[in-house]
Amino acid sequence: MGTPELAAHILDRLAAAAAADPRFTVVAVVTRPDEPRGRGLTPHPSAVAEVAARSNLPVLKPIKIRSPEFLAQIKSYNPDLIVVAAYGRILPQSILDAAAIAPINVHASLLPRFRGAAPIEGAIISGDSQTGVTIMRVTAEMDAGPIILQRAIPIASDDTQSSLKRKLAELGADALLEALDLYARATVTEIPQNEAFATYTRPISKDDSIIDWSADAARIERMTRAFDPWPIARTRLGGDPLLIWRARVAAGPESSAAPGTLLAIRPEPIVRCGSGALALCEVQAPGRRRMRASEFFNGRKVAPGARLGM
């Protein structure tokens, strides 16, 4: 059960492994219904549905997951395990109980840290030095089930949401196959999570990506990476939206200017933050191409002293 690219990569690896390992079989795939995309709003299948189609796997796209009809479909496959990876819906207990052995989840964090919908963004924004994946038994409480295994990787200083998702998709596939081997050999050990260390994330919205220039420069820089490729860190210049794709913490000149003030334009735009300064590397005006920040500000004839966020 999954929907986006991260889950699609895990399914691709799982299907390939199942074709070579007689101990287990992928009997069906569950994903979100097709969604309208593009200029014509034509319905498009999810990334998981596309992988399932290539692998000739039955695909279920329920609109309502709490319906008796969907539960009956799930039960008709007699699943030993239900594997969940970024499905995007809270599963009712009736679906969880349909797994003869266990419902398990591939979660993109080192639980109990960063439960919830945005663990990758949360790890980058918080400045964590590492993250990873957790294979856990799914319970009624969100991401609170016992841990089967965990695998960690470092977070690179230039990792974006996109690059870290690719790394965690690969790590998650490896961890899942390792967990399946444990189940096949009946050697699974479940470890309860320590609730004292639990932290939570919520779904990201565009409002979360609006830069508060009174924040620390290092945190704002991490925002630009956490929200790349969506929803993209953003501010305003002269009342117009401005997307900030890349930035770096800089040694700006001493100034008592208000946060958001452009301290310099050349050789690169430097913005005063609540603590420290930020050099803007790549920006984009809506409807325009991404470009070097210095090129953008020179073209707009913006002078030092102008304020961002206004």
With b meaning 16 or more CB within 10 Å and e meaning fewer, what string describes 262-274?
bbbbeebbbbbbe
Give domain limits for the chain.
Answer: 5-201, 206-300
Q: Pick from 163, 103, 105: which is nearest to 131 by CA?
A: 163
186-243: per-residue pLDDT in tens? 999 999 999 999 999 999 999 999 999 999 999 999 999 999 999 999 999 999 999 9
Residue range 158-187: average pLDDT?
98
Tokens of 43: 């319905």
CB atoms within 10 A of CB 143: 22
In the predicted structure, residue 157 carries a pLDDT above the cut 80: yes
Q: Identify the CATH number of the domain defined by range 206-300.
A: 3.10.25.10
Question: Please, what CATH class does the domain formed by 5-201 belong to?
Answer: alpha beta
The pLDDT, as a whole number, for residue 300 is: 87
Give the Cα separation of 230 and 209 in Å (integer). Answer: 9
Give the Cα separation of 127 and 146 in Å (integer). Answer: 26
pTM for the predicted model, two decimal places:
0.95
Reduced to 3 states (helix: H, G, I; strand: E, B; else coil), residue 249 is: strand
Computed on alpha carbons and rounded to an integer, the radius of gyration of the chain in Å comes to 23
With b meaning 16 or more CB within 10 Å and e meaning fewer, what string describes 119-129?
bbbbbbbbebe
Q: What are phi and psi of 251, to 5 degrees?
A: -90, 85
Reduced to 3 states (helix: H, G, I; strand: E, B; else coil), residue 13 is: helix
Q: Could you tell me where the DSSP H helices lie in 79-133?
A: 93-96, 119-125
Report DSSP state, residue 210. Answer: B
